[in-house]
Structure formats: C-alpha cells, structure tokens
C-alpha cells in the first residue's frame, strides 16, 4: 500500500486507530511506566520514589500527547489526500458521462445508432 495513494476512503481511520494503538502500547511498555508500576506495587511512600514516579508520569504523558498530535496530523493529511482523490475521480466520471450524453444526442440528431456504453 502506497502512502501517496489511498485506495479506500476508510484507510485514514484504520491508519489512525493503528497508530494510536501502537503509541499506547509503546508508552505502556516503556521503562518509565513499567518502573512506575513496580514502584506503585512496592513501597511508594518514600519521597525519592515519589519524585521519580512524578517525572516518569510527566515523560509518559508528554510522549502520549506528542504522539497523539502526530497521529491526528497524519490523519488530517490522509483525509485531505483521500478527499482530493475522490473529487478527482468524481469529476472524471462526470465529464465521461457528459461526453457520452453529448455524443448520444449528436448521434440521435444525425440519425446514427447510439454507441454502446460498455466500458
């Protein structure tokens, strides 16, 4: 599948869901989050551990927010490419149909048989 050609109008939604799932999986298994979970399970009442947990939580939240921003930026770009592709396809179909209608009208006016539209 090419990044420049979107074959399905649903592809941006699938890509967004996949990217968000990958991001959340990566962050949830990051060393900061795993150490926070380990510290929470043990004795987390010491001040040094609380400070480490706070900074790990801050780094994880920052990574999630940046990742979500990147994913939604990519989603909007994909939607724009998909929309432009659909509009171009619709325009080409419209012109093909209009040309066929004009040809049929011209053929009918001149008494020629209508051309078959089996493409």
pTM: 0.52
Residue 68's region, left for phi above 0, alpha for psi from -120 to 50, else beta, is alpha
Dump pLDDT digits (tens) for 84-98.
Answer: 777 888 888 888 898
Residue 1, domain member (yes or no): no
Residue 57 lies in a domain: yes
Asked, for residue 55, whether it belongs to a domain, the answer is yes
Q: What's the confidence (pLDDT) of residue 1?
A: 44
Residue 15 lies in a domain: yes
- Quick check: is 72 in a domain? yes
- Say if 86 falls within a structural domain: yes
Q: Is residue 20 part of a domain?
A: yes
* Domain presence at residue 67: yes
Structural domain total, the chain: 1
Burial (CB count within 10 angstroms: exposed 0-12, middle 13-18, buried 19+), residue 19: middle
Range of the domain at 38: 11-110
- Tokens found for residue 61: 């939240």
């Amino acid at each position: 599948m090419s990044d420049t050609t979107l074959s399905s109008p649903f592809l941006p939604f699938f890509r967004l869901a996949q990217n968000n799932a990958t991001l959340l999986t990566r962050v949830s298994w990051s060393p900061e989050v795993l150490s926070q979970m380990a510290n929470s399970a043990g004795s987390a009442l010491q001040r040094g551990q609380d400070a480490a947990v706070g900074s790990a939580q801050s780094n994880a939240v920052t990574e999630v927010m940046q990742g979500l921003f990147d994913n939604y930026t990519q989603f909007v770009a994909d939607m724009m490419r998909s929309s432009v592709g659909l509009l171009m396809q619709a325009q080409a179909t419209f012109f093909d149909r209009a040309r066929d209608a004009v040809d049929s009208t011209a053929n009918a006016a001149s008494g020629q048989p209508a051309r078959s539209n089996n493409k």
